[in-house]
Amino acid sequence: MLFSCLAEHLRLQKKLAGERFQGRISGPQEEIIWACSQCHHMLHSETHCEVCRATIVADDVGLNS
């Protein structure tokens, strides 16, 4: 993992310098992060907010039954 991170870093440096490089630079990936609607902190639990202790209620809007 360390070497693949180093290789990507070198590819990025070469790209910025306008040099040719082999391989591919990873692109952005979509990630969903849930936040508490009360305090807006990132949620780590599926049942409650660890900061303000608000209970998480499932929102069924848009789901097919």
pLDDT at position 65: 45
pLDDT at position 27: 83
| pTM of the shown model | 0.43
State the Cα angle at 32 between 50 and 52, rounded to 5°: 15
Return d(Cα 65, Cα 59) in angstroms, integer.
13
pLDDT at position 60: 61
For residue 48, count CB atoms less than 10 angstroms from its CB and return exposed for 0-12, middle for 13-18, buried for 19 or more.
middle
Give the three-class secondary structure for 1.
coil
pLDDT at position 42: 93
pLDDT tens for the 65 residues of the chain, in order: 899 999 999 999 999 999 999 998 888 888 888 999 999 999 998 899 999 999 988 766 555 54
